[in-house]
Amino acid sequence: MLVNYENILSDVVQQMKPSGIRRFFDLAATMDDVISLGVGEPDFSTPWSIRKEAIDVLEKRKIVYTANAGLSQLRAEVANYLEKKIHVKYDSEHEIVITVGGSEAIDIAIRGVVNRGDEVLIVEPCFVCYAPIVQMAGGVPVPIATKEENKFKLKAEELREKITDKTKLLVLPFPNNPTGAIMTREDLEEIAEVLRDTNIMVLSDEIYSEMTYGRKHCSITELEGMQERTILVNGFSKAFAMTGWRLGYLCAPEPVAKQLVKIHQYIIMSSPTVSQYAAIVALKECEHDVERMVKEYNIRRRYLVEAFNRIGMTCFSPEGAFYVFPSIQCTGMSSEEFCETLLEEERVAVVPGNAFGESGEGFVRVSYAYSLRHLMEAVSRITRFLEKHGGIHE
């Protein structure tokens, strides 16, 4: 008898939408000479001192499990780092969990707080994982669309409109992938004001916190009364160019962290040991490497913003992450149409904005985690494309 897989597989998983960029990815993979601006990870190599530490650890240590919550020295360094960067104190023994990338931190944070039927507010456009995880946890994702006219920041009234008595959690992803938007202290203060009287928790995904341009990152945990209602997620992938090391962390008030670490313990046991040792070096010794990379990103960011605005793909000047999010309105195409045609005609891959939520329609995400030489070639191809498709009127 043939197996009826539909009956075997879980309803939730079957109903989950495949990632919007998959089809596009497959298409790009069939072509030669594609110049990609489609990647969400740094182009830099992990700084050598971090890699050297990992090599030494492999040579000298037994690579065994660590404490569930992570090496206590690493948690202490995370606490130091956060105190230095955002002036917020966490008890490294009870409030910090080292996770498998920021991704696991997001997963266990959502699973740890959502009951069946709870609503989770998700600020969009955003990274693709939040809604599916909420669905797996039995919750209901409720998107809050941000707008270009507000530089894709979350506004208090947009938040207030979506809050119901079922709202459990707000996912606040800033600096934002894909828009590059940031929230300043004043922007966050408005949001905090709405949340203070409620029992809503915040999942603040600050994975791009080191990548801000012109001003320092502000965490919502810095605001009065907010640390106690926030699960802070961060990691090593973006700041230290360590995506493949799979290491992140979450910080939460002790009663929350105590429960979340149980999930981590059952599904993961402990995060990769070699990566944890290497991450200690990242936090202690690599501030200059981070500065060097951010400086480089900034040069590329300015270059792309100017270039896109010049060719008619209007684009607000993003202050964070490593993406620009230009409008493609001038071509009259949908995001997916634009990306497919651009790929077919000029062999340049960018990601359709709607892959990050419906409110991303009409935009594309362009990553500048690429060398200037690469970016310049891509810009000249996109310019040619726009000349042909009605973007440039001169």
Partner 1 sequence: MNELLHLLKTNARLTNAQLADMLGKTEQEIADEIRALEAKGVIRGYTAIINEELAKNTEVEALIELRVTPKRDCGFDDIAKTIMMYDEVETVSLMSGMYDLALTVKGESLKEVAMFVSQRLSAMEGVLATATHFVLKRYKEKGILIEEEDYDERSMICP
Output the CA torsion 211→245→132→114 (10° steps): -90
**Residue 25 C-beta-side C-alpha neighbours within 13 Å:** 8
Number of residues that bind partner 1 (CB under 8 A): 32
Residues 119-138 that bind partner 1 (CB under 8 A): 127-129
Q: Find the shortest distance in angstroms from Cβ 374 to partner 1.
A: 9
Least Cα distance to 367 among 21, 16, 17 occurs for 21
| DSSP symbol at 207 | T
Binding test (CB under 8 A) with partner 1, winner from 54, 100, 268, 307: 307
The window from 47-55, 110-118, 254-262, 351-359 that contacts partner 1 (CB under 8 A) reads: 351-359
The window from 8-16, 91-99, 157-165, 367-375 that contacts partner 1 (CB under 8 A) reads: 367-375
330 contacts partner 1 (rule: CB under 8 A): no
Say whether 286 sits in a helix, a strand or coil: coil
Binding test (CB under 8 A) with partner 1, winner from 62, 373, 393, 394: 373
The window from 105-113, 130-138, 283-291, 349-357 that contacts partner 1 (CB under 8 A) reads: 349-357
Binding test (CB under 8 A) with partner 1, winner from 72, 185, 303, 333: 303
Binding test (CB under 8 A) with partner 1, winner from 16, 43, 80, 340: 43
| DSSP codes, 52-118 | HHHHHHHHHS------TT--HHHHHHHHHHHHHHH-----TTTSEEEESHHHHHHHHHHHHHPPTT-
376 contacts partner 1 (rule: CB under 8 A): yes
Q: Find the shortest distance in angstroms from Cβ 108 to partner 1.
A: 20
Say whether 140 sits in a helix, a strand or coil: strand
Could you tell me which residues come within 8 angstroms of residue 145 by beta carbon, excluding any fewer than 6 positions away? Answer: 124, 158, 357, 358, 359
What is the rounded CA–CA span in Å between residue 226 and residue 106? 18
Q: Find the shortest distance in angstroms from Cβ 35 to partner 1.
A: 10
196 contacts partner 1 (rule: CB under 8 A): no
What are residue 118's phi and psi, to 5 degrees? -65, 145
Say whether 154 sits in a helix, a strand or coil: coil
Q: Find the shortest distance in angstroms from Cβ 372 to partner 1.
A: 7
Binding test (CB under 8 A) with partner 1, winner from 159, 349, 366, 386: 349
355 contacts partner 1 (rule: CB under 8 A): yes
Where along the sequence are the contacts to partner 1 (CB under 8 A)?
19, 21, 24-25, 28-29, 34, 36, 38-41, 43, 127-129, 177, 295, 299-300, 302-303, 306-307, 349, 351, 355-356, 371-373, 376
